Amino acid sequence: MVDKNVDLNHASILVTGSSGFIGSNLSKKLMTKFPGCTIVGIDNMNDYYDVRLKDWRVEELTQYPQFTFVKGDIADEALINELFAKYHFDVVVNLAAQAGVRYSIDHPETYMHSNVMGFYTILEACRHSYDENSGWDGVKHLVYASSSSVYGGNTKVPFSTEDQVDTPVSLYAATKKSNELMAHAYSKLYGIPATGLRFFSVYGPAGRPDMALFKFTDLFVEGKTIEVYNYGHCRRDFTYIDDIVEGVTRIMQHSPDENPVGAKYKVYNIGHAHPEELLDFITILEDELVKAGVLPEDYDFAAHTKYLPMQPGDVYENYADSSELVKDFGYDPSTTIRDGIHAFAAWYKTYMGK
C-alpha cells in the first residue's frame, strides 16, 4: 500500500460543492475523523434540484465549529483567489459540478461554465498557490471528481482506469474527461499533485433527488408513475455514500508520485464493483419503502411502473474495476444494496416527515 504523505489533522481544506450529496458527507467525515482540520465549503446553491435539501445539508455542517460556508460560484475568479489568499489551503477537493447526463443534452452551457471554466479557475488558484509571494507552501493535493460516465461507449467490463476513454456519449461525460486532461496538464506543467476520482452511481440518505433512488421514491409517494428505461435491463454499480467518502478520505492522504511523463497524477475508480440489475434494485426499493412505513403494504407498484426503451446518453452496463483502490489503500467498498436502500428509506421517512 502507499504511504500517507498528507496530514489532514491540522489541514486547511477547501471542499467545493459542499452542500451537494458527496461534498456534505465528505465534510462531515473529515471533521469527525480529523477534528483539528478546518474546512471551507463553497457552493452556488443552484436550483438544479430542491434547494431546501441543500439548505438542510448546510445546516448540518454549520453545527461544526471548524466549518465555514461560502455561497459562491467556483468560476468566480476573484472570489476563489480571495479564499485561497485568506485560508492558505493545504488540500483542495473539487466536487462542484453541474451533474446529470440527460440534463446536459438540453443545457450544454451550464456544463461548460461549471465543469470546465469552474475547474479551470480552481486549477489556476492551485497553480498560483506556489508563488513565493503567496505566503504558504502551496496546495499539497488536489482531489477532484471525475465520473464513471467517462467510460462512455466502452463495452468491456468491468471498467478499468487503464481503459481508453475517448468515446463519451454525453456532454457531461465529455466535460469530466476534460477535467482529467486539464488536471494532468497542470500537474505536468506546474507540479500540482492531482488525483481524479471516477465515482459509480452514488446513493444513500440525503442523496440527489434526480437520481433513481430518490426520484422513484418521490414518484411512488406522489402516486405517479416511474419510468424504467431499457425495460429494466440495465446494470449499475450502485455505491453507498459512506463507502465513497471513506475512499475519498483515504486518497486525500496520499499525494501521488510522478508518472512516467513526470506528472504527479493518478486516477482511481471508486465503485462497489458488483453491478445490480435495475429490476432487482427496484424490487428491493419497494420492499424497504414498505418496511420503513413510507408506503402502505397494499401499494400497487405495478400500476405505477412504466417500461421504456433505452434513452440517449445512457449505457447498458457499468461497473468498476477497483483493484487499484484495493492495492494502494487496502479499501474495497462493501455496503450491500439492501443495507444501503434500507438506510435511505429510514432517512426518507424521517426527513419527509419533518
Residues designated catalytic: 172
Residue with cell 508563488: 131
Q: Which amino acid is at 268?
A: Y
Report the C-alpha gap between 334 and 82 in whole angstroms: 40
Q: Are strands 91-94 and 235-236 parallel, antiparallel or unpaired?
A: unpaired
**What is the number of other CB atoms lying within 10 angstroms of the CB of residue 168?**
19
Long-range contacts of the stretch 151-158 (C-beta < 8 A, 24+): 151/198, 151/315, 151/318, 152/315, 153/315, 157/275, 157/317, 157/318, 157/319, 158/273, 158/319, 158/320, 158/321
- Spatial neighbors of 137 by CB under 8 A, at least 6 apart, are 130
Report the C-alpha gap between 109 and 25 in whole angstroms: 28
Q: Which DSSP symbol is given to 83? A: H
- Helix 171-190 and helix 118-128: axis angle, to 10°? 10
**What is the number of other CB atoms lying within 10 angstroms of the CB of residue 66?**
16
Report the C-alpha gap between 92 and 40 in whole angstroms: 10
In this structure, is the dihedral angle defined by the CA atoms of residues 61, 62, 66 and 69, taken in order, positive or negative?
Answer: positive
Rounded to the nearest angstrom, the gap between the alpha carbon of residue 67 and the centroid of all alpha carbons in its chain is: 20
